[in-house]
Amino acid sequence: MLPAVPQTPSPEHVTPVVTVIQHQDDVPLGLLAETLADVDVRLVRPDAGDPLPAAAEIDALIVLGGTMAAIDDAEHPWLPAVRDLLADAVDRDVPTLAICLGAQMLALAGGGQLEVAAPVGPERGVVEVRMRPDAYKDPVLGPLVETIGRDVPVPAMHSDAITVLPKSATWLASSLQYPYQAFRLRSALGLQFHPEADEEIMRRWAVNEGLDAEELTAGYDTHREALAMVAKQVAVAFTAQLRRQVSAAGFGL
């Protein structure tokens, strides 16, 4: 009897690994973690000394937010390496989701510009973003627009702002206060808002910043179902984008 030949798993049976860059304890994966349950998640904490992987070593990338500025390299010396990782991920067409601080670093990595403590003032709590026409065709935001419509309630917490998008970026969404709420840079989606932030996370941020937690979380009562749907749709569509890329790459993982 011939020995059994080991079977290489087909692409659809390969479990992709999503590498998550988390900068601090109180800005976690949050609501997105629930829907990413069907992929493996590798958490990297550069603030705790974890080394960053190379873009060639990862299947997909999520870069979370944080209270630091995207250019605060002296206080947070890992930030330049994260910006470089984002640039390399775009160059290698790695599916990437960059949130708030992550989106700002993605913009900088692609040649865009950022304003720290923008004079328009902080954007906090539940706000409405309007999806632009190109969002309807986006692999991640398109399904969200189909489900909720072009005006989408989202959690927000930032005072720094992207002022110039990278030249090759596609502008996808805006709010009344800040224009660049979402953009795509090839395989990477930047979101200025926080799809991962549930009411508990937003309340914690408010307390940490010395703000009125009841005021900042008031929008959750009105939009709770829609906010949960935003997180779910973003995670599901991002995972689908990753799986399509895995399938197209054959046995490349």
Q: Is residue 5 part of a domain?
A: no
Spatial distance between the Cα atoms of 200 and 164, rounded to a whole number of angstroms? 32
Q: Is residue 8 part of a domain?
A: no
Spatial distance between the Cα atoms of 74 and 72, rounded to a whole number of angstroms? 6
The DSSP code for 123 is E
> Domain range for residue 172?
15-248
Q: Residue 89 CA to chain centroid, in angstroms?
A: 14
Residue 47 amino acid letter: D
Spatial distance between the Cα atoms of 241 and 184, rounded to a whole number of angstroms? 13
Q: Is residue 240 part of a domain?
A: yes
Domain total in the chain: 1
Q: Is residue 68 part of a domain?
A: yes
The 10s digit of each residue's pLDDT in 64-111 is 999 999 999 999 999 999 999 999 999 999 999 999 999 999 999 999
Q: Is residue 253 part of a domain?
A: no
- The whole-chain average pLDDT of the chain stands at 93
Q: Degrees (nearest 5) of the Cα angle 124, 130, 133?
A: 150
User: In CATH, what number is assigned to the domain containing residue 236?
Assistant: 3.40.50.880
**First and final C-alpha spacing in the chain:** 32
Q: Is residue 3 part of a domain?
A: no
User: Who wins on pLDDT, 252 or 25?
Assistant: 25
Q: Is residue 10 part of a domain?
A: no
Q: What per-residue confidence (pLDDT) applies to 250?
A: 59
Spatial distance between the Cα atoms of 188 and 96, rounded to a whole number of angstroms? 4
The 10s digit of each residue's pLDDT in 184-234 is 999 999 999 999 999 999 999 999 999 999 999 999 999 999 999 999 999
Residue with tokens 């692609």: 110
Residue with tokens 């009411």: 199
Residue 122 amino acid letter: P
Q: Is residue 4 part of a domain?
A: no
Spatial distance between the Cα atoms of 237 and 235, rounded to a whole number of angstroms? 6
